[in-house]
Each structure stands twice: as structure tokens, then as C-alpha cells.
Structure 1
């Protein structure tokens, strides 16, 4: 089974600027079948209630390293995910289960990104555009790819695991992982160059 690899191509402390660069990269690819997913870690009850109000279609869940299997019998519902309208607003309940993650999957491109950035940009969060298509580029020998063509923005995080806060925001360009002969970096570099950027760090595997 093929997998992707992601390269950082831009980093800044400005969330609006990082979103702008990511959108420039989107324009390099075919967006006909693309969608966007968002995810944010919420550390306080106030943050959870704010996102619940601002993103009424979001789903809320608890991430427990000990309970990585989603338990359908969990009485809180947070292991399987709770839709915003059904999420309890009781501060005592929410406080007992922090941190809580909020996400939205398979949204139309352009439908949620700005609103999400406004409410989540100061947290550890991610926007990922999936289902793009990178073009074939014969001269440098780059193949078209419609499976692993993605762009993501990491807010306040440096790696895809979102497991450590980093007070900058990073754009990653995703390409198909091949045989390690340098093709992946050449592909990522070419894509970055189309928007005036370049690879600025080590590759990140999924």
C-alpha cells in the first residue's frame, strides 16, 4: 500500500499568511475532487464552548493514549465522537474530559477554513486539503498523482502528530512516497517553487 510523505515549505507566526500560502499551493493542483478536514485541540471549557458555538457542525472527541480503540459503550460518547448540538455544555462534565478535540471532515474547499482559523488559530490545530491532483511535469520527470496530493497547515505545531506546541504555523505539501531516491523531495521542491517557496525541513511520514 502506498503512503504519502509531507515536506514543510513555509513557516510563519502569522496564521492568515500561512493560510494564504497554502491556498496558493492548492491552486497548483486539480481541485475537482478535493475536500478539506480540520482538527483542533481544546484545553479549556471556554474553548470547547466557543468552538461548539462557532462550528455547529463539528464533532468532539477525547483522545486517550490508553483508550485508542473507540469504545461504543463509552457513556460520554467522546470516544466515538459527539456532534456539536448533542455535546453537553455542563462545565463539570467538559472539565473532566479535557483536552477535547474538535474536527470536521470532508468539507467543501473554501467552506470552513477562514472560520476555523479564526476560532482555532491560537490552538494546536490542523487544516488538511485532500483529494487534490498534482500535475504531470515531464521535464523534471514528475508523475501525475491523485492519491497522495495534499496540502496541510499546522497551527502552533511543527509535526503532523500535533503532539507538541510550537509557536509558529507551518505549510506542508504532501506527495507520494516512492523508493527514497530523492524523487519525493524533487516533487515537493517543484510544487513549492510554483508559489515562490522551497523545502525548509525534513520530510514527515504519515
Structure 2
């Protein structure tokens, strides 16, 4: 996807509210992809099984052992709980069609970090906004370690656009909460 410019526009400890605000921002975008991106860490067998049931084609990798060339799809996770526990924590990465999977994903999460990302083109076009749809998206980071709240909503642009970020933040009752960062 390349690098974007990401602005934090809403932060809270209430995951349902953070998700609601992220979806409100998605209404300001014309979707460009038929899929969205989900990533989450599973720290328990129960979390891994719940995420595998939801994301059967998702790629599950050991989170902290990059030297091992081991990965599973959700349908290929070890069937024995002890074998699965030995692989934890696992990071799952999946592209999925937005819709019902989103709320099920939020419910399946435990305490591990997670991210939801929707890609689109900001609409209606406002002259101060970056007109190139590359790297325009809404992102919800879940279970972050931040003193002002664990869940943060970001808006992304191709180039720096604090005015556009402030406009979108105001539309959901938020504000630009910090400096722009290079997006992921």
C-alpha cells in the first residue's frame, strides 16, 4: 500500500464507540476495494480458535518468532489445544469482505493488539483534501498502550492534510489528537 499520512482523530477505552466512529468515517469514503484488512494477536487458545472460525483463510503466524518459517491458515491450526498453545501468541492477518465479519471480529478479540482498515476515496472531494485516492483510508487500532485510551481511530491521506483530518474528526465529534505519523 505504501506510506500514508495518518492522523489520530478519536481515542477511547470504549471499543464499541471507537468502532462506531470508525464506521461513521467510512461513510465519508467511496470504497475502492471489495475487502478490508484485519490483523489481531491471539494470546490464548480460545482467542485463536474464535479468530480461526471467523477467518478460516486468514494467515496465522507465531507473533514473536520471526526466524521460524511456520504459519497456518485458520483451518490448519493444530487441533490439539496443547499443540496450539505451544504456538502462541499468534498473529492473524486477513483480507475480508466488510460487513458482518467486522462486529464478529471485535467480539472475538481478547487483550491482544488488533487493527481494522478500510480503504477508499474521501468523498465528497474538498479542495484542501488530497485528491489522489492512494493511501486514503480509515484505521481502527485496538488495544494500544496509550495513556488517553486503548482504541484509536485514524484517518489516512496520501500527503499531509491536517485541514482534511480536522474536518473528518469534527464530523465524528473528535479532533486531531496529535501530530501526523507515517501510516502502515
Q: Same fold, TM exceeding 0.5?
A: yes
Structural mapping, 1:92-131, within 5 Å: 92-105=82-95, 107-120=96-109, 122-130=111-119
Aligned equivalents of 2:179 and 2:5: distance in 1? 10
RMSD (Å), alpha carbons: 2.6
1:32 Cα deviation after fit: 4.8
Aligned length: 182
Aligned residues of 2:142 and 2:152 also touching (Cα < 8 A): yes
Counterpart of 2:171 (choices 186, 194, 204) is 194
Structural mapping, 1:1-206, within 5 Å: 3-33=3-33, 35-64=35-64, 66-67=66-67, 74=69, 77-78=70-71, 82-105=72-95, 107-120=96-109, 122-130=111-119, 132-135=120-123, 136-138=125-127, 141-157=128-144, 168-177=150-159, 183-206=160-183
Q: Alpha-carbon deviations, 1:44-90, whole Å to 9, x = none?
A: 223212322344343311234653xxx7xx4xx32xxx211121122
4+ long deviations beyond 6 Å: none
Aligned equivalents of 1:146 and 1:14: distance in 2? 30
Change in Cα spacing, 1:57 to 1:2, as seen in structure 2 (3 Å) is closer
Change in Cα spacing, 1:120 to 1:194, as seen in structure 2 (3 Å) is same
Aligned equivalents of 1:99 and 1:173: distance in 2? 29
Aligned equivalents of 1:44 and 1:170: distance in 2? 24
Aligned equivalents of 1:101 and 1:63: distance in 2? 5
Between 87-96 and 5-14, the greater mean CA deviation after superposition: 87-96
Give ranges in structure 1 of 5+ residues lacking alignment: 160-164, 178-182
1:34 Cα deviation after fit: 5.1
Q: Alpha-carbon deviations, 1:137-178, whole Å to 9, x = none?
A: 13xx3232311111111111158xxxxx9962110111113x
Change in Cα spacing, 1:156 to 1:167, as seen in structure 2 (3 Å) is farther
Aligned equivalents of 1:202 and 1:103: distance in 2? 27
Give ranges in structure 2 of 5+ residues lacking alignment: none
TM-score by length of 1: 0.77
